[in-house]
Amino acid sequence: SQQGEEDPQALSIQEGENATMNCSYKTSINNLQWYRQNSGRGLVHLILIRSNEREKHSGRLRVTLDTSKKSSSLLITASRAADTASYFCATAAFSGGSNYKLTFGKGTLLTVNP
Amino acid sequence: EAGVTQFPSHSVIEKGQTVTLRCDPISGHDNLYWYRRVMGKEIKFLLHFVKESKQDESGMPNNRFLAERTGGTYSTLKVQPAELEDSGVYFCASSQEPLPEQFFGPGTRLTVL
């Protein structure tokens, strides 16, 4: 089954606007993480929200988690051109030992126009 | 502190050849993961090491892929013989308990012609 499916696939906004990306998943999770990937670079961890949390903030980022709907959203406020990147949600299901293997969606490509 | 590094950054080989990718995790991180992104698809888990032991290799596509982590430090992922469908970006990540956050390297872009 496909986990961490992001919506929309692409989003284009003007600098200063807010950007909201959504993620849906199918199975039980231990935590959900959001990552950013700038073109040609590696994945950068942005924020993690645990299954018993509903909302988390980090700077201009706000993440929500609704485990009843198996969905999460990432809000970037007051966007900047430097926020242009692909954003991925990744679900982690604790599978014994110390294994937190991540399951990713295809990502949302965010373009912030100056 | 140095992040996760991967070598090479790009590799172009012909079908049937062998390629070895290397990952150096963050110093002190016991957990090391390999992931792969084939063009147009999701980033998919390949396998997980805890120190030098394979904890989970359920994502390895077939026996042409061999991963090692001798001594529990750096890891290598060898593809032999490479096929066209192996083309993609191979990411390595590391983490240290009890924190679940994974730190990713920049990836190795593999092109099989």
DSSP state of B84: G
Q: Report whether A6 contacts A90 (CB < 8 A).
A: no
Instruction: Give me the CATH number covering residue B65.
Output: 2.60.40.10
B72: left (phi over 0), alpha (psi -120 to 50) or beta: left
Q: State how many domains chain B has.
A: 1
Residue type, A68: S
Whole-number pLDDT of residue A22: 93
Q: Where are the domains of chain A?
A: 5-113
- Which one, of B21, B27, B31, B25, lies nearest residue B4 by Cα? B25
DSSP bridge pairs for B79: B19, B65
What domain range is B90 assigned to?
A: 5-112
- pLDDT for A1 beyond 60: no
Read off the pLDDT of residues B38-79 as tens digits, 9 standing for 90 and up: 987 889 999 999 999 998 899 999 999 999 998 889 999 999
Residues of B in contact with A51 (CB under 8 A): none
Chain A contact present for B48, CB below 8 A: yes
Read off the pLDDT of residues B16-25 as tens digits, 9 standing for 90 and up: 999 999 999 9
User: May I ask the CATH class of domain A5-113?
Assistant: mainly beta
Res. B86 pLDDT band, cuts 50 70 90: very high
Residue type, A40: G
Q: Report whether B95 contacts B31 (CB < 8 A).
A: yes
Say yes or no for a CB contact (<8 Å) between A102 and B33: yes
- pLDDT for A3 beyond 60: no
- Give the residue-averaged pLDDT of A16-30: 92
Residues of A in contact with B50 (CB under 8 A): 97-99
Sheet holding A5-7, edge to edge: A5-7, A19-24, A71-76, A61-66, A55-58
Q: Show the CA angle centred on residue B92, arms to residues A61 and B10, nearest 5°.
A: 105
